Amino acid sequence: MTARPLTIMLVAAEASGDDRAAGLMRALKRRLDGAVRFVGVGGQRMAAEGLDSPFDISELSIFGLTEGLLAYPRVVRRADETAALAVRERPDVAVLVDSWGFTLRVAQRLRRQQPGLPLVKYVAPQVWASRPGRARTAAQWFDLLLTIHTFDAPAFEREGLRTVFVGDSTLAIAFSAADPSRLRNAIGAVPDDPILLVLPGSRPSEIERVMPAFEDAVARLLAERPDLHVVVPAAPTVADAVKARVALWPGRAHVVEGEAAKRDAMKAATVALACSGTVTTELALAGCPMVVAYRLAPLTYAILKRLIRTNYVTLFNIAAQDFVAPEMIQADCNGPALAAEVARRLDDPALRRMQVERQNAALLKMGRGGPDPSDAAADAVLSLLG
């Protein structure tokens, strides 16, 4: 009789979690010589590693109070379906990645239905920024927490939750294969042409709330700079919406898809205009100066403003405790203000160089150059299983 391979359930509900979970899958396959089976929920990157997701995770990519309330019935239904999948597949461990609201609901169902199933939370809720009570909640439902920031652990260890720092897998992204000339050739840009990289987010709500300001900024910049090329890497979760909007833009705007094209673009770009999120760390790793922006629903912003305990939203700004990259949040996320900040960097090579140097220093504080986080996460999961 053939032995049943180790079965690992992974659940990721957003593009960044999909990427992190895919890295963990690759590391586990290396550790176990391929003798592992994966089940769960994920996106395209996890699918490429062998996971068959029962539904499209783009419908769970939600941020904001209003959006969360409207999506609540769908989130509950998908959490029920995810727990039912675990009942059918009987995994040996479940690793729930990021996306606190959804993965907590999944964890609660798994704990009630399969009390003996080890539950791992990969990426801690940001209790250092807001809602510190989530540390106690995490300790109640999870057996192991894998953190990506050095400053995460104390709050959770105080609640008795076993915590292992594995590092941020984004910091392990290599740009050695990126080819900026390949991107320039693809869009018809000569070596001295300036390139503006526009990254409007990976959630549908981000496209809805952030993209109008980005579009206004791009139109203003193109009106003043006819030689400016605009490149928009489209995340898989929102690619159709992004392509439909960019098709209406004036001037030379190009949508690119896929990781290789995105990294080429990050290395080729003169300046980036980026929605706050994991992509800001990727840009910093590529050596690209940037302007960071975000906009929430007004009610969500009013509530979060009372809860947030940090002055910064960008991780390398938090590490530096300074505005290394400008953050244009809420009312400041408007076309004229964004265009002005981007224009300053397009016109000032010294400012660009200084910002890149400060970004690099902040990345070192975040753990750049450390052990591979995916390998560390795989070791921690296997250690939990004994």
Domains of the chain listed by start with CATH number: 6-167+371-385 (3.40.50.2000), 180-366 (3.40.50.2000)
pLDDT at 381: 97
Percent pLDDT > 90 in the chain is 71
Q: What is the DSSP letter of 123?
A: S
Q: Crossing angle for the helix pair 335-347 and 349-366, nearest 10 degrees?
A: 100
Contact 232, 200 (CB under 8 A): yes
| Long-range contacts, stretch 380-383, CB < 8 angstroms, 24+ apart | 380/120, 380/144, 380/146, 380/164, 380/166, 381/8, 381/24, 381/28, 381/93, 381/95, 381/120, 381/144, 381/146, 382/28, 382/31, 382/32
Q: What is the DSSP letter of 92?
A: S
Task: Tell me what the pLDDT averaged over the chain comes to.
Answer: 91
pTM: 0.74
146-183 tens-digit pLDDT: 999 877 889 999 999 999 999 988 888 889 999 999 99
* Residue 240, CA distances (Å) to 58, 61, 244, 256 in order: 12, 15, 6, 12
Give DSSP secondary structure letters for 258-301. SHHHHHHHHHH-SEEEEESSHHHHHHHHHT--EEEEE---HHHH
Residues 6+ apart with CB under 8 A from 148: 123, 124, 165, 166, 167, 168, 169, 373
C-alpha to C-alpha distance for 145 and 160, rounded to whole angstroms: 11
244-257: buried (b, 16+ CB within 10 Å) or exposed (e) per residue?
Answer: ebbeebeebbbbbe
Average pLDDT, integer, range 173-201: 94
| 1 pLDDT more than 60 | no
Tokens of 38: 């994966």
Confidence grade of residue 245 (pLDDT, cut at 50, 70, 90): very high
Lowest mean pLDDT among 120-134, 221-235, 252-266: 120-134
| 250 pLDDT more than 60 | yes
pLDDT at 149: 85
| 64 pLDDT more than 70 | no
Percent pLDDT > 70 in the chain is 95
* Residue 215, CA distances (Å) to 230, 275, 292 in order: 11, 13, 15
Contact 192, 314 (CB under 8 A): no
Helices (H) and strands (E) in the chain, counts: 16, 12
C-alpha to C-alpha distance for 41 and 78, rounded to whole angstroms: 10
| 114 pLDDT more than 90 | yes
